[in-house]
Amino acid sequence: MGIIRIGGRGTTKRVTEKEEDNWVGPAFIEYSKKRKEAAKDMYVSMGRGTSKIKFGDIADTSKKSSTKGMWISTGRGTGKRRID
């Protein structure tokens, strides 16, 4: 089934096939790894633009950090409770 895509500031329409989503999940992880590998020798500004490091030196962020023991605010920011 085709989907309608709008182009040219809303002046043209075209019917195309629905493509596979690649902005989330394993497809996006692979896509971002390939882009990082291609740009590993480029520099990235850090610390308000005062220093720079190579993009390949940045560690992978594949692990999710635990929120256990952290505090969250409640009641318009007037209270807090600890996450178990």
pLDDT of residue 22: 76
**Cβ-Cβ contacts under 8 Å for 7 (sequence gap 6 or more):** 13, 14
Block residue for tokens 């971002």 = 32
pLDDT tens track for 26-42: 888 888 889 989 999 99
Nearest 10 degrees: Cα torsion 20, 24, 27, 32: 130
Per-residue pLDDT at 73: 95
pLDDT for the residue 72: 93
Place of tokens 């007037």: 78
The pTM of this model reads 0.48
Residue numbers of the chain with a pLDDT score lower than 50 = none
